[in-house]
Amino acid sequence: MAATKEGKCKRILVTGGSGLVGKAIERVVTDGEGRPDEEWIFVASKDADLTNAADTKALFEKHKPTHVIHLAAMVGGLFRNMKYNLDFWRKNVHINDNVLHSAYENGVQKVVSCLSTCIFPDKTTYPIDETMIHNGPPHNSNFGYSYAKRMIDVQNRAYFQQHGCRYTAVIPTNVFGPHDNFNIDDGHVLPGLIHKVYLAKQNGTALTIWGTGNPRRQFIYSLDLARLFIWVLREYNEVDPIILSVGEEDEVSIKDAAEAIVEAMDFKGKLLFDSTKSDGQFKKTASNSKLRKYLPDFKFTPFKQAVQETCSWFNMNYASARK
């Protein structure tokens, strides 16, 4: 392989580099996971609007990546998804097609894109595994996002079939960590709850949890996901996607997650449940047995420790955090 002008063989472009997952990868790379033959380039929407084909093409021509981690997406929690299914579909389809096709046109050797366990069929058997993505319609709350994400898998297979490209995707469960979107209305459940607990503590009010608290989720700490992403980029050679998740036994209810946050934030007020608000999908338990076959010894950060670290980050960065 020809070295780049700095003598580095791999030039890795990370789209969505300013987001929750992108920032985690940047931290893990900076903290020692990066290798001397790798140059890492993290880009955000200010560098290129990836819904725009010409901007995307220019970005690829500027950086000439050999590898791509593709994270950029319109992302949001249940309530934002329910309101904007059309925008989630259109923006994400445009972003994904622009990125994958620019990668192909520029001879990129490997692309790792990001799906999500919330794109799986609503009516399914559990645990969900990688073979089930296209087995039925997704939950109605987020069909725009889900179908757009599913098309990445279709496109990866087609690039492989027609051009032999090794483009693949990972499927994380619910991600959380520093640099998340802590917006209460538009964000995901865990960062939204952290922000709510922060405000309830400040204002001396009760904590109101939307929904019954009964739905169950597998949460993955962004820094664990970052280490797994880097492994996929370097070592995983299948075109078929791989679920990146803690085990089925580590699934927790929203109520359990809220209690972990309450403990981490030392909140002493009351917990209320507003069951007039939607619960979303009850569960989406995913199997990590494919991951475990490859990496039997990978150690996930314990949930309570990861929640504690995320809450500390939020408390320390309240003024600048996305909220």
Ligand X SMILES: NC(=O)c1ccc[n+]([C@@H]2O[C@H](COP(=O)([O-])OP(=O)(O)OC[C@H]3O[C@@H](n4cnc5c(N)ncnc54)[C@H](OP(=O)(O)O)[C@@H]3O)[C@@H](O)[C@H]2O)c1
44 binds ligand X (CB under 6 A): yes
For residue 239, how many other CB atoms are within 10 A of its CB?
16
Residue 270 C-beta: closest distance to ligand X, Å: 28
307 binds ligand X (CB under 6 A): no
16 binds ligand X (CB under 6 A): yes
Listed ranges 40-48, 100-108, 202-210, 237-245: which one lies at the site for ligand X (CB under 6 A): 40-48
Between CA 177 and CA 220 the distance in angstroms is: 9
8/83 with CB nearer ligand X: 83
71 binds ligand X (CB under 6 A): yes
50 binds ligand X (CB under 6 A): yes
Residue 42 C-beta: closest distance to ligand X, Å: 9
Q: Give the CA-trace dihedral at 141, 146, 147, 152, to 10 degrees.
A: 170
Residues constituting the chain: 323
Residue 257 C-beta: closest distance to ligand X, Å: 13
21 binds ligand X (CB under 6 A): yes
Cis, peptide link before residue 127, omega less than 30° from 0 = yes
Q: Which of residues 163-192 bind ligand X (CB under 6 A)?
A: 172, 174-175, 181, 188
Residues 6+ apart with CB under 8 A from 193: 207, 209, 257, 258, 261
For residue 314, how many other CB atoms are within 10 A of its CB?
23
66/222 with CB nearer ligand X: 222
To the query of whether residue 145 is one of the catalytic residues in this protein, the response is yes
182/267 with CB nearer ligand X: 182
Q: Give 310: exposed, middle or buried? Use CB within 10 Å, 0-12, 13-18, 19+.
A: buried
Between CA 51 and CA 43 the distance in angstroms is: 14
Q: How far is CA 308 from the centre of its chain?
A: 20
72 binds ligand X (CB under 6 A): yes
Between CA 92 and CA 97 the distance in angstroms is: 8
Q: Which residues are tagged catalytic? A: 145
Which spans of this chain sit near ligand X (rule: CB under 6 A)?
16-22, 44-46, 49-51, 71-75, 95, 114, 116, 172, 174-175, 181, 188
